[in-house]
Structure 1
């Protein structure tokens, strides 16, 4: 079972036992009070053990509701197969984008074998599936695929949010291939009259019919165009929040400020990559001198909205002298 669902179930059982213990005392029912107290201690111990267990591999629960689902009995096979296939494609394309950079507009998705998820269980209460990372679950550190599944959860939660700013954050990390699959994903959910609850790590959110229709309309109307440019200027990084500010001097002696998100490739540069002979970079030292960097500027266009641009820092090229 998913860690969050296990924790929620244990907390519910503890709350139920607490209510029973409140309604009786050791004097009124000594045997019952002892048994319930012992059971409560067992549940608390399990809760602590599960809560302290690290999450290092990809795992997600997808609960479907609405027209394709017949209570707790089951879900239409053609609908479930198509939506799960689209979800896997989202994960594979995002994984490829993170690992090798910009994904080509056509052709096979490289390294798709490294991003495969397995169906390891079904979930009741509507009808859902547990998807887990293929391979060993004995990793000590978080796997790259776990980080990708977390990103997909964030994207799905944001594209259906009423706040346009939250939607823009999701649009800023999409590439063209992922956008195509995302359109198919929400179209199938919307046409099928479905709802979707996603449980993954700390994420637990519901895409209801209104959210799915909104997400579909936004994604269908979305067009993106990328341009990568090399700049020289003063850079300020916040690695934990993955944000940056970049100051570029212009001909008038003023400074142009670019703000945006930091790519995973830059995070790797900061951490160091011994396999290519690159030492770690202290983010606190970066503002001490000018840097030459690559920034991807994405123009997002939607119907009935003015075009807007979002920036992503994709590479630290090298330190540079001010010219």
Structure 2
């Protein structure tokens, strides 16, 4: 009798449970569709103005739109007037990158290895320029070094400002990757084999820190090329970089020339962003850790004896 009652109850509840199982995927589908819709709308909100600005730099007359025709006249005019700013921006970015590599990589390594309170204080001091507005940092540099006329009028003054602003990005990227990898064990093993500090740094630290170095280098280049606030305070008529020239074109010239300047700026920065994705930069080491876990799992499964039955193949009589 009890078995008959149980079977009747299961028959009554079976359609309900089946309907609930059918409803859940539909709910998940609607949620996923909503998330995709919000993401696409946000992307359109950010990308459409950039596309419209680029189109403005390629049209004969912005106010008439595409009906006026397409032209490269504004790009040619911008290059003729501001090619000096382009080369100066590249030179400043290259000098900034070189200095941050020489100082930021060792600093990031030391901060990752050291666990003292002093190292944390130094790290906070290095990050301080990011917390301050660029105008404040530029004003501090002018107050301290503005009296040195030749230095103040040279591009080296802008390089110093860019180094102060971008150095934390290099230090934090290198420190993050050095802290995530077990460099101390590798260095101790190399030291036991007779390697000195320079040999350990070149053959162990630098190869393992490469993702952080690449991430920091690309961040330094993009930030240096696009930095405006600090550069606007430090520049002179002879040391005008790309962002300052872009502001001048939008303020004093036709909107088509300003938009063409935006295209030129876009052409310079996009390859760096694409390179970051193409190189698969992983400064935090999360993807490397995931691959390592996947490799360990594959090794374990491959090392299992072939005669060991899987749990699914075990049946009870």
Q: TM-score range by the shorter chain?
A: under 0.3
Higher RCO (CA < 8 A, seq sep 6+): 2
More strand by share: 1
TM-score by length of 1: 0.26
Larger Cα-atom Rg? 2
